[in-house]
C-alpha cells in the first residue's frame, strides 16, 4: 500500500473514532437529561445538575445540542420550586429571599435564549416570582403593568405556552375584579412581575 493510501486510511480511522466518540457523548447528554428530568419530576426536592460525563475535549456534543440553555432553564425551574417550598422559617424569610433572588437571576438569563419556547417559559416563571415579591412589599400599579407586559411577551414568544396564557388571564381577571385596568409601561424584561398561578411545571421535553 502506498504512503498516500496509508495516510488516507489513517485519517479515515481517526474520523471514524471521533464520530463514535461524538455519538457516545451525544447519548450521554440525552441520558443525563432524561435521568435528571425523571428524578426532578418524581421529587421536586431533588437537586439534579443535568450534567453528562463526556469524552471529547471541549464537549462538542454539548454545543451541538445547545445544552447550556436547557441547563440554565432547568436550574431556574429547580430554584423556582425550591423558593416556593421554603417558608419564612427561623430566619424571617432570608433563605426564601435568597432562593427567589437566585431563581430570578437564572431565569433572567434563560429568558435571553434564542429559543422562543425556553424564553417564554423563563419569562413566565420570572414574572411569578417578581410579582409575588412585589405584592409582599406592597408594589403598586407599575408592578402590575410590568406583569401584564411580560406575560404578554411570554405568550407572544410561544403561543403554545398554556401556563403563561393562564397566568395572564388570571392577572387580568384580578385587575378587573379590583376595578383596575393595566396601562402601558416602558419597562419590560424577565425581572417583570406576575401572579402565582400555573407555570410551575417540571422541565421541558429535553432530548
Q: Give per-residue pLDDT as tens, 72-115.
A: 999 999 999 888 887 766 777 788 888 888 999 999 999 999 99
- One domain, residues 76 and 25: no
Question: Given this model, what pLDDT does residue 199 score?
Answer: 43
- Those residues of the chain that have pLDDT short of 50 are 185-188, 191-202, 205
In angstroms, rounded to a whole number, what is the distance separating the alpha carbons of residues 3 and 93? Answer: 73
Do 16 and 93 belong to one domain? Answer: no
Domain of 11, in residue numbers: 1-43
Same domain, 131 and 182: yes
- Please report whether residue 179 resides in a domain: yes
In a domain, residue 55? The reply is no
* Whether 73 and 149 share a structural domain: yes
Do 167 and 75 share a structural domain? yes
Q: Examine the domain organization and report whether 173 and 95 are in the same domain.
A: yes
24 and 76 housed in the same domain: no
What pTM value is reported for the model? 0.72
Q: What is the pLDDT of residue 159?
A: 96
Q: Examine the domain organization and report whether 195 and 106 are in the same domain.
A: yes
Same-domain pairing of 38 and 75: no
Asked if the structure places residue 206 within a domain, the reply is: no
Same domain, 19 and 80: no
Q: Has residue 58 been placed in a domain?
A: no
User: Does one domain contain both 109 and 174?
Assistant: yes
- The verdict on 116 and 82 lying in the same domain is yes
Q: Residue 110: its pLDDT value, please?
A: 93
Q: Is residue 136 part of a domain?
A: yes
What pLDDT sits at residue 139? Answer: 58
Number of compact structural domains in the chain: 2
Amino acid at each position: 500500500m502506498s504512503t498516500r493510501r496509508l495516510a488516507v486510511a489513517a485519517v479515515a480511522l481517526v474520523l471514524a473514532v471521533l464520530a463514535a466518540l461524538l455519538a457516545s457523548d451525544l447519548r450521554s447528554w440525552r441520558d443525563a437529561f432524561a435521568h435528571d428530568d425523571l428524578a426532578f419530576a418524581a421529587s421536586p426536592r431533588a437537586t439534579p445538575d443535568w450534567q453528562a460525563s463526556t469524552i471529547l475535549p471541549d464537549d462538542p456534543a454539548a454545543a451541538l445540542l445547545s445544552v447550556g440553555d436547557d441547563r440554565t432553564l432547568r436550574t431556574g425551574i429547580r430554584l423556582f420550586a425550591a423558593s416556593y417550598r421554603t417558608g419564612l422559617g427561623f430566619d424571617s424569610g432570608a433563605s426564601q429571599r435568597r432562593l427567589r433572588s437566585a431563581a430570578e437571576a437564572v431565569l433572567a438569563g434563560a429568558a435571553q435564549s434564542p429559543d422562543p419556547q425556553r424564553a417564554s417559559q423563563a419569562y413566565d416563571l420570572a414574572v411569578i416570582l417578581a410579582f409575588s415579591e412585589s405584592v409582599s412589599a406592597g408594589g403598586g400599579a407599575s408592578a402590575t403593568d410590568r406583569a401584564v407586559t411580560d406575560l404578554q411577551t411570554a405568550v407572544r414568544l410561544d403561543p403554545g405556552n398554556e401556563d403563561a396564557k393562564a397566568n395572564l388571564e388570571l392577572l387580568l381577571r384580578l385587575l378587573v375584579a379590583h376595578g383596575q385596568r393595566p396601562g402601558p409601561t416602558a419597562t419590560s424584561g424577565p425581572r417583570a412581575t406576575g401572579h402565582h398561578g400555573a407555570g410551575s411545571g417540571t422541565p421541558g421535553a429535553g432530548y
